Amino acid sequence: MLKLLLHVPDSSRFEAALKQARNFALAMGDKPYQVRILVNFEGVTVLNDLSPYSALLQENFSFGAEVYFCENAMKAFNVSMDKVPQQAKTVPAGIVALVTWQDEGFRYVRA
């Protein structure tokens, strides 16, 4: 099974990450795969207004993509936890998640 880990440390790359995840899922077809998108550092500021990405985000959720936001970054950039979409998740420290998931076989791609 292919496991894709898209890293989004910059809010200007959030849309690109969602499109890359969608394209990966479509290309995989019936083959087994997993997609995780980790948003950390300044990237978490997309949570202040997700409306431009809502359709693409929902499309990603529909094919099973997992989207995670870093709690440390959210605190550093004063982004409230209540801005995290219901289907998304948080991790305490994005850097730890990146390393752990790569150790679990996820292939790292910076969006």
Strands of 66-70's sheet in order across? 89-91, 66-70, 33-39, 2-8, 107-110
pTM for this one? 0.97
Three-state secondary structure call for residue 79: coil
Q: What is the mean pLDDT of residues 79-103?
A: 98
Average pLDDT, stretch 41-53?
98
CATH superfamily placement of domain 2-24+32-110: DsrEFH-like (3.40.1260.10)
Cα–Cα dist 43/34, whole Å: 22
Report d(CA 74, CA 51) in Å as an integer.
18
pLDDT band (50, 70, 90) for residue 43 = very high
Give the pLDDT score at 108: 98
Q: What is the mean pLDDT of residues 22-36?
A: 98
pLDDT of residue 7: 99
In this prediction, what percent of the chain has a pLDDT beyond 90? 100
Domain ranges in the chain?
2-24+32-110
Average pLDDT over residues 28-32: 97
Contact assessment for residue 44 and residue 77, using Cβ atoms and an 8 Å cutoff? yes
